[in-house]
Structure 1
Amino acid sequence: MRTDEPTAPVAAGLRERKKRRTRDALLRAALLLFVSQGYERTTVDEITDTVHVSQRTFFRYFANKEEVAFAVQDLVESHFFAALQARPAAEGPLEAMRGAVLATWDTLDQALCEVVPVDLYMRGYRLIERTPALLAVHLRRCTGLEERIARLLAAREGLDADADPRPRVAAAAFCGVMRVTGRLWGQGEDTSVAAIRRMTETYLDQIGPALTGNWRRNAPTAGARPAGR
């Protein structure tokens, strides 16, 4: 017997796609409003009115404005972790993190294209750096991100992160550089992915020299006495 009604798996697939489209539409609308008029000035009503859905629909997908503000950041972080897990086992921790974050910037457009334009994400990222309420949340999230990276590094190296301090030290150095580059990029005029990628690469390449080098150009040799004594 023929029927025009979709089978259960097909119907379920259609419902999931519709839900994803609604969620993505809310996300794009929220980010556009955030970057155009500010995070604090944007209301949930304005977001839902833009998409022509109810508040109830909004809260079905997002707990609050904060969650929607960081939704794309969650995707980017997942993209980074996938890249880090895929790095060659022969790479050391800092080399693997460097390669993973640069690969993340290089493939960001294809990772986000089905959800939001990459330019909109970068403008949203800049907004986070410039909005005190969001920056406070971002810094708190960075603590959890750092711990996740440390444990992934420990797993890569076959170490116990709770017994060996090196994974956390490496993760702290890496995340510190990422915070510096994010802040400086957010203060600059060039909001492109290429700009933050260049800055990230430059600063990551300074971790070794900054931690092990002698910064004073004419530093006295160890044990040498100051002139005049």
Structure 2
Amino acid sequence: MDIRFDGKRALVTGAGKGIGYGIAKALAAGGAETFALSRTQADLDRLKAENPDIHTVCVDLADWAATKKAVEKLGSIHLLVNNAAVVNVTRFLEIEEAEIKNIFEINVHAVVNVSQVVSKGMIARGKGGSIVNISSIAGRIAIGNVPVYTASKGALEMLTKAMTEELGPHQIRVNNVNPTIVMTEMAKIVWSDPAKSGPLLKRTPQGKFAEVKDVVHAVMFLLSDKSVMINGVSLYVDGGVTAV
């Protein structure tokens, strides 16, 4: 399936590493004028060195005002991927307030903030657009030792549905992509120990975890006009683990 984004302008959050890095590169390769947002300048410099055509934006998504200002400066955005996320490994009885605040600021609040700016622009132009939120299988099934992360992804699932209902009349589509484990640097914090990842892998019908490219392909499809009537869905890239 040939998917092109010529003439489109795209924004990817959390684009300095892992899945977001792959998405930004794929969008640029597909012809989109691509903006990569991260809080780490060194990561953005590496991406820029590999892909000189990609524009970089360094801002901490936990800073609501700075983020809003930075995104407003970008002008028209036709395609948005809310990919940035953080995770802490903490058992439920050991959770502290600061952890809840940090995870929800990035995994939920920032999605609202960035999407508000972008969708207002889409509405003003009157030509619609496409938003993809990167959720997780943790938005559907409980994952041990990351209860706050799981809660944040559950919140994101319902936020996507609410966005779909409100933005749909403006021809703005909002969908989730829900990967299983993808061994990015963030995922290794939780899953590098086979004792932790083994039980989930054993439950997965395909017997393997996802690769970055698997998630990227799903995102490209949902951003494109090939999925013009797909709206408000959660697309699980999980080898079947949530089905069994």
The TM-score with structure 2 as length reference comes to 0.28
Higher helix fraction: Structure 1 or Structure 2? 1
Q: Which has the higher contact order (CA 8 A, sep 6+)?
A: 2
Q: Which of the pair has more CA radius of gyration?
A: 1
The TM-score with structure 1 as length reference comes to 0.30
Higher strand fraction: Structure 1 or Structure 2? 2
